């Protein structure tokens, strides 16, 4: 899926500025699928797991390869290159050869569009 360049912004209840990046219409990322988007200069993979959206930086901490397109099982993505597993819920590295976590991003669905929170 192609990245989407729409950028939204807002303010939290305590006044902090937040930046939400529109990824795609929710209907364009069906369960079991993913999309990618650039967030603050990093490539981010957004996965739909049974209607729940998770976003992590699209880079394996073992060798720098992409995680998008890897098999997703039980809220974990398997790196397609060497089989390291990462939690989609936390970004934690779960199996070797990766030992460092990947960055996790907040997601939300607003007006039918999946969005990822930037910094």
Give pLDDT tens digits along the chain (119 positions): 444 433 344 434 444 456 999 999 999 999 999 999 999 899 999 999 999 999 999 999 999 999 999 999 999 999 999 999 999 999 999 999 999 999 999 999 999 999 999 86
Q: Which domains does the chain have, with CATH numbers?
A: 7-117 (2.102.10.10)
Cβ distance 31 to 13 under 8 Å? no
Beta carbons of 54 and 89 less than 8 angstroms apart: yes
Rounded CA-CA distance 76/3 in Å is 22
Task: Count the alpha carbons within 13 Å of 42 in the hemisphere toward its beta carbon.
Answer: 19
């Amino acid at each position: 899926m192609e990245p989407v360049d729409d950028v939204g912004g807002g303010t939290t209840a305590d006044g902090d500025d937040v930046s939400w990046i529109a990824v795609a219409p929710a209907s364009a990322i069906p369960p079991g699928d993913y999309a990618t988007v650039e967030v603050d200069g990093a490539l981010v993979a957004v996965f739909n797991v049974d209607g729940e959206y998770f976003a992590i930086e699209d880079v394996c901490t073992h060798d720098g390869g992409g995680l998008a397109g890897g098999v997703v099982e039980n809220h974990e993505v398997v790196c397609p290159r060497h089989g390291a597993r990462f939690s989609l819920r936390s970004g934690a590295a779960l199996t070797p050869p990766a030992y460092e976590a990947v960055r996790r991003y907040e997601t939300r669905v607003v007006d039918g569009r999946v969005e990822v929170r930037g910094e």
